[in-house]
């Protein structure tokens, strides 16, 4: 579709589509254990990934014909090496989200540099973020109460705490039921209990 067509069609983020696309890719990879190796996703999509000094953006994607080129910034200052690695991983997931979801829009193409309207760009960015969160923290990784503690989920999936916290606010009802069956406490209270007591709340009534 053209940018003008996309502008009128994509007025709100397609969250279900973003999640379905991420799940399909992970299925093709055999549902790998976390932390998910996104370079395997890039290889599957025939995307070339380069880490380099970008002097500003954390990453970007360019398309030339059917080939995608993803650049991830190495000049990320003011953080620990581990936080930088996790930020780069998230950036790569975000750019892969664009490739997976927006291949049919002349977006960042070397052949058509038509300006993306701000309202459309906002929708594309939200979709790419949602896809990244589902690539890095898919539903199937939520198996224990450890996984509702943002710090533990972040370590398990190789993401920063902010991304883990946001993911926990958007759990599917299937995941919530799976985890709720493990404790008598409401899931939202498990992190506070863990912080206060230093252990996870066991289920009293089996």
Judge if 128 and 191 occupy the same domain. no
The token pair that represents 147 in the structure block: 């996984």
Which range marks the domain in which residue 170 is found? 142-206
pLDDT tens digits for range 87-142: 999 999 999 999 999 988 876 654 554 567 778 888 999 999 999 999 999 999 99
C-beta neighbour count of 122 within 10 angstroms: 13
Sheet of strand 67-73, all strands in order from the earlier edge strand to the far edge: 47-52, 67-73, 59-64
Ordered alpha helix ranges (H), 38-109:
38-44, 81-101
User: Where is the domain boundary, 104, 136, 168?
Assistant: 136
Which residues lie below 8 Å from residue 64, measured CB to CB, with a gap of 6+? Answer: 109, 110, 111
- Residue 169 is classified by DSSP as T
- 137-168, pLDDT tens digit by residue? 999 999 999 999 999 999 999 999 999 999 99
The answer to whether the peptide bond before residue 150 is cis (omega within 30 degrees of 0) is no
| Domain end residue (candidates: 101, 136, 171) | 136
Q: Do 85 and 14 fall within a single domain?
A: yes
């Amino acid at each position: 579709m053209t940018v003008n067509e996309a502008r009128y069609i994509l007025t709100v983020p397609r969250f279900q589509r973003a999640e379905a696309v991420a799940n399909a890719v992970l299925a093709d990879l055999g549902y790998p254990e976390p932390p998910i190796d996104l370079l395997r996703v890039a290889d599957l999509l025939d995307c070339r990934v380069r880490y380099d000094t970008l002097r500003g953006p954390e990453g970007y994607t360019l398309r030339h014909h059917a080939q995608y080129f993803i650049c991830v910034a190495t000049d990320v200052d003011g953080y620990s090496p581990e936080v930088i690695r996790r930020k780069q991983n998230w950036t790569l997931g975000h750019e892969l989200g664009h490739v997976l979801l927006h291949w049919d829009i002349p977006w960042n193409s070397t052949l058509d540099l038509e300006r993306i309207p701000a309202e459309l760009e906002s929708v594309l960015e939200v979709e790419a973020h949602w896809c990244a969160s589902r690539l890095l923290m898919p539903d199937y990784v939520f198996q224990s109460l450890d996984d509702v503690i943002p710090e533990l989920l972040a370590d398990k999936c190789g993401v920063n705490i902010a991304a883990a916290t946001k993911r926990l606010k958007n759990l599917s009802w299937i995941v919530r039921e799976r985890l709720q069956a493990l404790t008598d406490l409401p899931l939202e209270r498990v992190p506070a209990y863990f912080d206060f007591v230093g252990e996870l709340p066991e289920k009293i009534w089996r």
